């Protein structure tokens, strides 16, 4: 829920008074806001990286198990021929 125009104006006035009364505190508060934005951006990138890794791992698992599924229900000798390990 956003702030109304009057509320934003009141907050701006408070911030201006703070900057005049205690410049060091104002500088700290402004820096904390920038740090918070950078931190949330980093969290988004980390979550995207983790999601990408999870999808890639699922794909690899599916690729590795695909060979086993394609031979299920077929005689072992046919599977061995497909794999190139047939006994002669």
DSSP-assigned letters across all residues of 14-71 = HHHHHHHH-HHHHHHHHHHHHHHHHHHHHHHHHHHHHHHHHHHHHHHHHHHHHHHHHT
Predicted confidence at residue 42, as pLDDT, reads: 84
How does pLDDT run along the chain (88 residues), one tens digit per residue?
688 999 989 988 988 888 888 888 877 777 655 656 667 788 889 999 999 999 999 999 988 887 665 555 555 565 566 656 655 5
- Cα–Cα distance, 81 to 46 (Å, whole number): 45
Which pLDDT does position 53 carry in this prediction?
96
Q: Read off φ and ψ for residue 73, nearest 5 degrees.
A: 85, 0
Q: Is 33 exposed, middle or buried (0-12, 13-18, 19+ CB in 10 A)?
A: exposed
Q: What is the pLDDT of residue 30?
A: 73
């Amino acid at each position: 829920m956003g702030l109304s125009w009057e509320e934003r104006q009141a907050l701006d006035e408070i911030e201006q008074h703070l900057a005049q009364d205690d410049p060091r505190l104002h500088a700290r508060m402004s820096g904390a806001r920038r740090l918070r934005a950078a931190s949330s951006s980093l969290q988004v990138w980390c979550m995207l990286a983790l999601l990408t890794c999870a999808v890639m791992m699922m794909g690899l698992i599916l690729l590795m198990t695909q060979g086993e599924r394609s031979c299920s229900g077929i005689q072992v000798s046919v599977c061995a021929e497909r794999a190139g390990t047939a006994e002669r």
